[in-house]
Copies of this chain bind each other. A is one copy, B any other.
Amino acid sequence: MIKIGIIGATGYTGLELLKLLSRHPAAEVTWLTSEQSAGQRFGDVFPVAPALGDQVLVASASADLAGVDLVFCCLPHAASQGAVAAARQAGAKVVDLSADFRLHDPAIYEQWYGHSHQHHDLLAQAVYGLPELHRAEIAAADLVANPGCYPTSVILGLAPLARAGWLMGPIIADSKSGVSGAGRSLSLGAHFVEANENLSPYSIGRTHRHLPEMEQELRLLNAESGMWHVIFSPHLVPISRGMLSTLYVTLPEGVEPAAVRECYAAMYADEPFVYLLKPGRVATFAHTAHTNTCAIGLTPVPGTRTVIITSSIDNLGKGASGQAVQNMNVMFGLGETVGLM
């Protein structure tokens, strides 16, 4: 059994992790931390059934870092850095669900997150935890930076084109996210009456922090590829969980829709968690709700050079905690789908 600690367990990613790990045959959750709720049962923080709820939360200072094999860190960015460093110091492997170790270049991190990075050494070792792109490195890693939800849907939706060198010009990523992506901290935008019966774009264009993460990973797939950039427009929708990115790409002349489909089919043929929909189908939230799957639809637009890619994930599944468990499976040499099907 893999002994596991979860730091910052009282958010939605923590809850989802605990649910997934509770039915994982090789995982044993040893402790859960929360500064605000230390001493309480998990079931006092979330209205859940007793099997999940009986574990008692501890302050992070009393968490036995050395007593676990793996730490999932669910703190917000900035707060995560120190906790990850402490866990690594104690010898535990780490999957960090924050943004702190996703961007390889600390200067870019500082530019987007507004504060400097304190652990350049760890940053240099961290592996971007998208198994479809970095499986071998994840298997060898001690520190995995779990991707953001938007980047997961956008990168998986564009990776075959990026690898082929077929991206060019502005790529439109119009993304729609359920409200759990905003976390459990209270905010007016996530207040029921404000979010319900409403749909709001926010941080559109090139301002959302998930943008550099997408572009970093897509550029790494083909160093030779030409000039392109992503226009990224997230929208909040009145749904608890789920995410869809509708991606608009102008293909280079001479690239036919059939070649595009072959390209996706080839790259994802053996991927257990990427589901290429049949021609004519589009991805919806329903395809992936409560799963670790990314469903991808390809819709070429006849008479134009545009192809529309619809890419759906569950933002708490493949977009966060499911992918974190997938990374754990890879890091510990387990079957990649264990506990996730």
Q: Which residues of A contact B (CB under 8 A)?
A: 12, 22-23, 46-51, 170, 172, 174, 176, 179-180, 184, 186-188, 190-202, 204-206, 229, 231, 233, 235, 237-242, 244, 246, 248, 250, 275, 282-291, 293, 295, 299-304, 306, 308, 310, 341
Contact = CB atoms under 8 A, between A and B. Distances in A.
Contact of A205 (B187, B202, B205, B308): B308
Given A287-B47, A310-B201, A301 B179 contact: no
Given A198-B239, A200-B284, A233 B246 contact: yes
A306 B230 CA distance: 11
Given A304-B206, A306-B231, A193 B197 contact: no
A227 to B, nearest CB: 11
A199 B304 contact: no
Contacts of A196: 179, 192, 196, 238-240
Contact of A197 (B240, B244, B299): B240
13 contacts: A12-B193, A48-B287, A176-B235, A179-B192, A196-B239, A197-B240, A200-B282, A204-B246, A205-B301, A229-B304, A231-B308, A235-B246, A238-B238
B286 A194 contact: yes
A286 B190 CA distance: 14
B199 A285 contact: yes
B199 A242 contact: yes
A132 B160 CA distance: 44
Contacts of A310: 201, 204
B192 A240 contact: yes
A282 B204 contact: yes
Contacts of A51: 341
B306 A170 contact: yes
Contacts of A190: 191-193
A293 B49 contact: yes
Contacts of A200: 282, 284-286
B248 A231 contact: yes
B170 A341 contact: no
The residue among A172, A179, A205 with the most chain B CB atoms within 10 A of its own CB is A205
A50 B77 CA distance: 35
Contacts of A283: 201
